[in-house]
Structure 1
Amino acid sequence: MADAVMAQAGPEVRTQTRPRAGQLRAAMAFEWVKLRTLRSTWWSLALFAALTVTVALLTGYALRGSYADMDARRRAEFDALAYGFSGLQLGMMALVVFGVLAVSGEFTSGTIRGSFAAVPRRGVFYAAKLLTGALTAGAVSVPVVAAGFAATQALLGGPGRVALTDDGVLRALIGAVLYTTLLSVFAMGLATVLRSPAVTLSILLPLFSMLSTILSNLPGVRTAAQFLPDVAGGLVLLREPPDTTVLNAWTGMAVLMAWTAASVAAGYLALRRRDA
């Protein structure tokens, strides 16, 4: 399959005398061809959309009309903004799978040798892979985040829902897209280090689905757990950060960016130092 992909990408990918910008564009075109030919790309992105929107609809339906029955204290605590992203926590698991398989599949199948032959500069190859994956994750996240949020708010109805023009809503929507995209890139960096989809997913899926939540609720480790990538980045989805954290929406996002940068840097070092 690698030979067929290289043929589609064209001979310009193999050229080492082109300017760096030209090399990167050619390598990204090469990566895009590979990404489109992976079945995992299509089913993981479709699953991301389906899970996010379905859970958002169920949340909105379950909470429909409940705001009217709440007392003053419960109304003050009701966070319709966060409920708008209720499906994102589950849906993003599929986006993490997308990021992992976009990278690790080449190592397990052995086609990475063909990719290195087509793009000999490891830095250019790695940058092209990360940028292509990040752009894909971000482009898919925009409509999925918007659809999930709109679905929940539409079903909530009445005074309990929030509108796009309300305080903090646009910030949260932009932050949600950054959140899902950065977690996908974080997964790609870690997959480059570990090279095994099974090992990488056995770490990330339990961490993001259960362990982070459990650790965040344990008094002894709660302070440290707030700096985990998904916990810190997820603060942007809330109306107000909880009292138990020292972070806010954007400092939490900065922590997630730091985790992502560290993962990407570790992946680059692993790619430079190891053979295919």
Structure 2
Amino acid sequence: MRTALGVLGAVLLGGLVWEGYKAVGDPDGTLLFGVRVLPRADDAAMPHLTEILGRFGDPERVGGDPIWLVVTNAGLVTLRSVAVGFLAGALVGLLLAVLMQRLRWVRRGLLPYVVLSQTVPLIALAPVIAGWGGRLSIGSYPWQPWMSVATIAAYLAFFPIAVGLLRGLTSPAPIAEELMRSYAAGWWRTLVKLRLPAATPYLYPALRLAGAAAVVGAVVGEISTGTRGGIGRLVIEYSREATTDPAKVYTALLGAVLLGLLVAGVVGLAEILLTPGRRASMR
């Protein structure tokens, strides 16, 4: 309940800041030493929130579906790539974390490259992945464009899980490890009985970050590769009408934001259902 109220309060605060700045801000933006430090507050750059929300009920084009339906369908297309990328990234991150915890030389050699992998710009990486994917096939099933988007989402999702889970796996106190050794517990039993439970407080925040990263990766991947049907492509298409219909652009952006909140909410719900302590605190 407190979480829901917090989210609602944050949304209301954001709306008040938006409308407040629009009311008092400079239509041409605030300049400091000739550099615009605050955005323009005119209707072309910052439509009223009522105009943006009302645009969802209007048809996308004359005689077409309403924008809310178009955005919802595009979100479902992107959600498929996000789900596949999130699951693949979670699996890769889990395996890397366990491997780096098990073998110290692997951690020393691999961890710097895991961190370095996140410095590669997605806008440059996405076309490369799409180009490689176009030459692949899964058995007799050809590689689909959404698979490239899912790969990009997995690329961003694995990192927080690998790093967060590794920190959790190495968090047990030495005395706890000594106790497991005194019981003649092997590495696998120590992992299941001690390290994984100790890593739980680190895992769920990492999963939430991975979910948000997967949404970002999927949207950027759709934009960079030109994959049709998803939110990313919708942002590009609506941006072409930014000068004549600025509120329409924000409908696609809000769709991407809601998709990210949905993924974070699903991970949070899974945490509540799978953690007895969290379930008890919700009662």
After TM superposition, the score normalised by the length of structure 1 is: 0.31
More helix by share: 1
Larger Rg: 2
After TM superposition, the score normalised by the length of structure 2 is: 0.31
